[in-house]
């Protein structure tokens, strides 16, 4: 398989004959929509036409067998939260990358932002940081038109982390910072790294959990991230997993305007993306999957089944993340997406 190829997502999401009517943008049920949907279904049945692919009718109006939820038309998908380990993604890097891209292609995911290496290290030493980032750099080199990277840092190792920032972002292809569970992100040692992030206009993807029974030592909650974001208002933060307990996570970050949420990693429960969009606005919601630990399909379902407008889907699936990494991409003349 040629890992540099990227089949158009049109293959997966054929253009809908209904295009943008604006009608499907309204998430709430209405009698008029129901009647319109019912009439259109009847018309389709009468004339033997197939139904347009999703989004037009509330799912409950569709006959069994037609309840396939897809975006309304071709849409560019960027995944802001991907790893190099999990599921069938094993072996050497040149074995892992094609498998990851095979699954991404199935779901029309065009670009993937990777972080951390071929195994997870909770509290990496300077040597391990370099090793972890080297794995991502090598993967990006294998498929530069598909893969991007977050540089993995550990605030316990200031000098090494600042060095990795320079090596992987300033002189390398990476587009932002990933912080995991080495240290709670509200701690002061984060500050020098965040000052450098502000200078370079780099977004920061911070793992967050509201874990039942208490977080791991060093693990951040969305509330910890709010403290950090308040100290560094010029840095754009992504609250990874929205805290996993997403109802609490959304409420925790709601008033801190320099925090976006990614919707990755938890079960594809109904209501998550809906609530995030309602409470934060679609401008602050970013698609991520946590693949290959989770499947692209299960995580995309959260977005596709949320009854969102075309504008909201576009924002969540690529526009918002592109806006956050744009200052870095602009410096590198990175090609912009073709669609929308």
Q: Which residues bind Zn ion (CB under 5 A)?
A: 290
Instruction: Provide the minimum distance between the beta carbon of 288 and Zn ion in the complex, in angstroms, as a whole number.
Output: 8
Chain residue at closest Cβ approach to Zn ion? 290
Q: Interhelix angle for 93-106 vs 126-142, to 10°?
A: 60
Instruction: Provide the minimum distance between the beta carbon of 161 and Zn ion in the complex, in angstroms, as a whole number.
Output: 19
Instruction: Provide the minimum distance between the beta carbon of 303 and Zn ion in the complex, in angstroms, as a whole number.
Output: 17
Six token digits for residue 152? 């993995």
CA distances from 251 to 119, 222, 319 (A): 32, 9, 23
Instruction: Provide the minimum distance between the beta carbon of 241 and Zn ion in the complex, in angstroms, as a whole number.
Output: 8
Instruction: Provide the minimum distance between the beta carbon of 81 and Zn ion in the complex, in angstroms, as a whole number.
Output: 6
Six token digits for residue 179? 């912080």
DSSP classification of residue 25: G
DSSP string of 292-323?
TTS-HHHHHHHHHTT---HHHHHIIIIIHHHH
Nearer to Zn ion, 3 or 82 (CB): 82
Give 98: exposed, middle or buried? Use CB within 10 Å, 0-12, 13-18, 19+: middle
DSSP classification of residue 283: G
With the CA atoms of 224, 230, 232 and 237 taken in that order, what torsion angle do they form, in degrees rounded to the nearest 10?
A: 60
Instruction: Provide the minimum distance between the beta carbon of 218 and Zn ion in the complex, in angstroms, as a whole number.
Output: 15
Nearer to Zn ion, 258 or 299 (CB): 299
What stretches of 47-178 show up as alpha helix (H) in DSSP?
93-106, 126-142, 158-165
Nearer to Zn ion, 162 or 293 (CB): 293
Nearer to Zn ion, 37 or 292 (CB): 292
Nearest to 206 by CA among 189, 188, 183: 183
Nearer to Zn ion, 74 or 290 (CB): 290
Nearer to Zn ion, 57 or 150 (CB): 150
Nearer to Zn ion, 79 or 290 (CB): 290
Instruction: Provide the minimum distance between the beta carbon of 270 and Zn ion in the complex, in angstroms, as a whole number.
Output: 22
Instruction: Provide the minimum distance between the beta carbon of 335 and Zn ion in the complex, in angstroms, as a whole number.
Output: 26
95: Cβ–Cβ under 8 A, 6 or more apart, which residues? none
41: Cβ–Cβ under 8 A, 6 or more apart, which residues? 51, 57, 61, 62, 63
Nearest to 179 by CA among 199, 201, 164: 164
Cα–Cα distance, 78 to 81 (Å, whole number): 9
């Amino acid at each position: 398989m040629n890992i540099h190829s990227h089949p158009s997502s049109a293959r997966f999401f054929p253009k809908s004959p209904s295009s943008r009517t604006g009608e499907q943008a309204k998430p709430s049920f209405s009698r008029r929509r129901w009647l319109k949907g019912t009439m259109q279904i009847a018309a389709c049945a009468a004339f033997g036409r197939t139904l347009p692919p999703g989004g037009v009718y509330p799912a409950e109006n569709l006959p069994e067998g037609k309840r396939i939820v897809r975006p309304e038309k071709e849409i560019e998908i960027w995944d802001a939260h991907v790893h190099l380990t999990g599921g069938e993604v094993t072996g050497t890097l040149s074995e892992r990358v094609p498998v990851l891209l095979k699954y991404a292609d199935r779901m029309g995911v065009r670009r993937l932002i990777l972080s951390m290496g071929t195994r997870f290290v909770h509290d990496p030493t300077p040597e391990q940081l370099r090793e972890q980032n080297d794995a991502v750099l090598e993967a990006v080199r294998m498929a530069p038109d598909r893969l991007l990277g977050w540089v993995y840092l550990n605030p316990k190792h200031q000098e090494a982390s600042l060095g990795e920032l320079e090596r992987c972002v300033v002189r390398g292809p990476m587009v932002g910072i990933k912080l995991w569970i080495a240290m709670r992100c509200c701690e002061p040692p984060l500050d020098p790294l965040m000052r450098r992030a502000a200078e370079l206009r780099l977004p920061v993807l911070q793992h967050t959990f509201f874990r039942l029974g208490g977080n791991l030592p060093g693990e951040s909650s969305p509330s910890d991230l709010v403290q950090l974001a308040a100290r560094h208002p010029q840095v754009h933060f992504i609250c990874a997993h929205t805290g996993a307990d997403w109802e609490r996570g959304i409420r925790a970050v709601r008033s801190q305007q320099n925090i976006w949420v990614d919707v990755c990693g938890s079960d594809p429960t109904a209501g998550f993306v809906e609530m995030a969009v309602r409470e934060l606005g679609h401008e602050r919601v970013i698609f991520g999957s946590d693949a290959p630990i989770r499947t692209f399909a299960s995580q995309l379902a959260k977005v596709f089944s949320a009854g969102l407008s075309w504008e909201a889907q576009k924002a969540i699936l690529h526009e918002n993340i592109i806006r956050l990494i744009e200052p870095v991409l602009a410096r590198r003349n990175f090609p912009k997406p073709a669609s929308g």
